[in-house]
Amino acid sequence: MLTHSFKLVTIIAEPVLEPRITTELRRLGATGFTVVEGRGQGSRALHAAEIPGINVRIETIVPPEVADRIVEYISKQYFADYEVIAYLSDVQVVRGEKYRRAP
Amino acid sequence: MIETLKANLLSPIPLAFALGIVTRLMRSEFSLPKDVYSALSIYLLFALGLKGGVELAHASFDSIVAPAGVTLLLGCITPLSTYAVMRYVGRFGTSDAAGMAAHYGSVSAVTFIAAQQFMQRVGAPAEGFMPTLLTLLESPGIHIALAIGAIQRNKQLLALGGDKNAHGSVREVLHEVLTGRTMVLLVGGLVVGYFMGESGWNAVSPFFESGFKGALMLFLLEMGIVAGDRLGDLKKVGPFLLAFGIVMPLLHGAIGVILGAWAGLSPGGAAVLGTMAASASYIAAPPAVRLTLPEANPTYSLTAALAITFPFNILAGIPIYYSIAQAIAT
């Protein structure tokens, strides 16, 4: 089957940042995203959730240039003050046009 | 006062709360499922709003004006005094002081409900329109505190030659506070309750009234667990914040009771208003502070609000504010 190379961007963040980050993802060129909630602890463990230890994992599949923009934005905006990590992985998808915003 | 304190400690709410703390001290893994906890808080807040709305329909405009006025005044006093004490007595930075001011300027709805239950039990029920005052007190504290924080922060950034890029816009914070669970359910409940009136309330009261105290006990059990989780952080916050978490509610509580009595509230009503002023928010304030003042350390404010002030108010504060109200009345 014909597949296309894309990037999977994974962002794990304090829940309070979810609305902000997901809004920004769309602005930066992502066509969609998935959010899951989970438990965990990072190196700081000081976030302000009502229930301690809850994090959100936000994932989006995007073209490489969009992935770079997203990671750069997240690192500039949030790494200093918040408990946030972001990483990229290579993925192969069918229906490549689904993950590319029409110019 | 000692008798009231003793009687309070052996009543359902403090006992359930204490069990929650003991559960954590025993290192039990038990906690309520997150969705059950959310559902309980929705039930409690909506029931509170509805009942308050039904009662509001009976209240005369004249009887509410003065209490509403002093409530707004309290909403200005509590964040300012918290900021001043944190900054100039505790020598904390502007962000940490402003973050704490937002927590102590806002209200803990659960503490409020506990105070109402206490007043009912001792036979001095508060006025029916108290939930309206709760919604009035909920947001000014947060906004004043965040405004102080943002202004100070921008001043510092400008002095350092940085750009004036505040993290959270006023609009975003307003949206966060006004659309939060507490405000939607309380204000929404007040409006629905007001319009549905007594007959509407009679239809739903079997659900909202008979289960209320049981649900509150379960909720307080979980709050005990959450507070117990934070007990380990007490070591991180130091003696100043420990003292702060008890002295500040006593001060704000006394001011609230005095203003309440002055505005014509009954002893029970004045004590509930005092409790509101004494309480610190740990639901609405933390996300708002996190978004606007990201460099404020949440360990300080959450530990003080949740692990010191909340238990203090539930176990001892409420009876103390009631004793002050009684002393003023006689």
Once rounded to an integer, what is the mean pLDDT over residues B178-193? 88
Which helix H or strand E contains A21, and what residues bound it? helix A18-28
The answer on pLDDT for B154 being more than 80 is no
Interface contact B226-A52, CB threshold 8 A:
yes
Q: Determine phi and psi for A79, rounding to 5 degrees.
A: -60, -30
Edge to edge, the sheet with strand A4-13 lists: A34-39, A54-62, A4-13, A84-93
Task: Count the alpha carbons within 13 Å of B317 in the hemisphere toward its beta carbon.
Answer: 32
Per-residue model confidence as pLDDT tens digits over B306-324: 999 999 999 999 999 999 9
C-alpha dihedral (B192, B198, B202, B207), degrees to nearest 10: 40
Can you tell me the distance from the alpha carbon of A7 to that of B271, in angstroms, rounded to the nearest whole number? 59
Helix (H, G, I), strand (E, B), or coil: what is residue A8? strand
Test mutation, A16, A18, A74, A79, chain B, max B CBs within 10 A: A16
Task: Tell me the pLDDT of chain B averaged across its residues.
Answer: 90
**Could you tell me the residue ranges of all domains in chain A?**
4-53+60-89
The answer on pLDDT for A103 being more than 70 is no
Once rounded to an integer, what is the mean pLDDT over residues B115-139? 93
Helices (H), A29-82: 64-78
Interface contact B226-A54, CB threshold 8 A:
no
- One-letter amino acid at B255 equals I
Helix (H, G, I), strand (E, B), or coil: what is residue B97? helix
Higher-pLDDT residue of B293 and B79 is B79
* Residue of chain A minimizing CA distance to B37: A51
Can you tell me the distance from the alpha carbon of B283 to that of B154, in angstroms, rounded to the nearest whole number? 26
Lowest mean pLDDT among A66-70, B15-19, B60-64, B189-193: B60-64
Interface contact B297-A81, CB threshold 8 A:
no
Q: In A, which residues are within 8 Å of B34 by CB distance? A: 51, 54
Once rounded to an integer, what is the mean pLDDT over residues B278-282? 93
Test mutation, A24, A51, A77, A78, chain B, max B CBs within 10 A: A51
Once rounded to an integer, what is the mean pLDDT over residues B182-189? 89
Distance of CA B191 to the CA centre of its chain: 21
Interface contact B34-A49, CB threshold 8 A:
no
In this predicted structure, what is the pLDDT of residue B134? 94
Q: Determine phi and psi for A9, rounding to 5 degrees.
A: -100, 125
Once rounded to an integer, what is the mean pLDDT over residues B137-147? 86
DSSP of B107-122: --HHHHHHHHHHHHHT
The answer on pLDDT for B262 being more than 90 is yes
- How many folded domains does chain B comprise? 1
Asked if B130 and B152 count as a contact pair (C-beta separation under 8 A), the reply is no
Asked if B83 and B101 count as a contact pair (C-beta separation under 8 A), the reply is yes
Can you tell me the distance from the alpha carbon of A48 to that of A33, in angstroms, rounded to the nearest whole number? 24
* Residue of chain A minimizing CA distance to B293: A81
Asked if B278 and B317 count as a contact pair (C-beta separation under 8 A), the reply is yes
Distance of CA B320 to the CA centre of its chain: 17
Asked if B149 and B95 count as a contact pair (C-beta separation under 8 A), the reply is yes
Question: Which domain CATH number covers B38?
Answer: 1.20.1530.20
Higher-pLDDT residue of A68 and B180 is A68
CB neighbour burial string for B181-216, b if at least 16 within 10 angstroms, e if fewer? bbbebbbebbebbbebeeebbeeebeebeeebeebb
In this predicted structure, what is the pLDDT of residue B164? 45
Q: In B, which residues are within 8 Å of A14 by CB distance? A: 290
A47's tokens: 């976030």
Closest Cβ–Cβ partner in A46, A49, A54 for B297: A46
Can you tell me the distance from the alpha carbon of A69 to that of A73, in angstroms, rounded to the nearest whole number? 6
Closest Cβ–Cβ partner in B283, B291, B299 for A16: B291
In this predicted structure, what is the pLDDT of residue A11? 97
- A33 CB-contact burial (10 Å; exposed 0-12 / middle 13-18 / buried 19+): middle
Helices (H), chain B: 2-9, 12-25, 34-58, 61-84, 94-105, 109-121, 130-159, 170-178, 181-210, 212-230, 234-262, 267-278, 285-292, 298-302, 310-312, 318-329
Q: In A, which residues are within 8 Å of B230 by CB distance? A: 52
Can you tell me the distance from the alpha carbon of B161 to that of A34, in angstroms, rounded to the nearest whole number? 39
Can you tell me the distance from the alpha carbon of A82 to that of A93, in angstroms, rounded to the nearest whole number? 32
Q: Read off the pTM.
A: 0.88
Q: In A, which residues are within 8 Å of B37 by CB distance? A: 51
In this predicted structure, what is the pLDDT of residue B166? 46
In this predicted structure, what is the pLDDT of residue B40? 93
Lowest mean pLDDT among B119-133, B179-193, B248-262: B179-193
Q: In B, which residues are within 8 Å of A20 by CB distance? A: 291
Higher-pLDDT residue of B298 and B133 is B133
Once rounded to an integer, what is the mean pLDDT over residues B196-209? 94
Alpha-carbon gap: A7 to the closest alpha carbon of chain B (Å)? 28
Once rounded to an integer, what is the mean pLDDT over residues B275-294? 88
Per-residue model confidence as pLDDT tens digits over A7-50: 999 999 988 899 899 999 999 999 999 999 988 877 765 655 65
In this predicted structure, what is the pLDDT of residue A88? 97
Confidence at A52, pLDDT banded by 50, 70, 90:
low
Residue numbers of the domain that contains B310: 2-329
- B330 CB-contact burial (10 Å; exposed 0-12 / middle 13-18 / buried 19+): exposed
Interface contact A16-B287, CB threshold 8 A:
yes
A100's tokens: 């590319």
CATH topology of domain A4-53+60-89: Alpha-Beta Plaits (3.30.70)
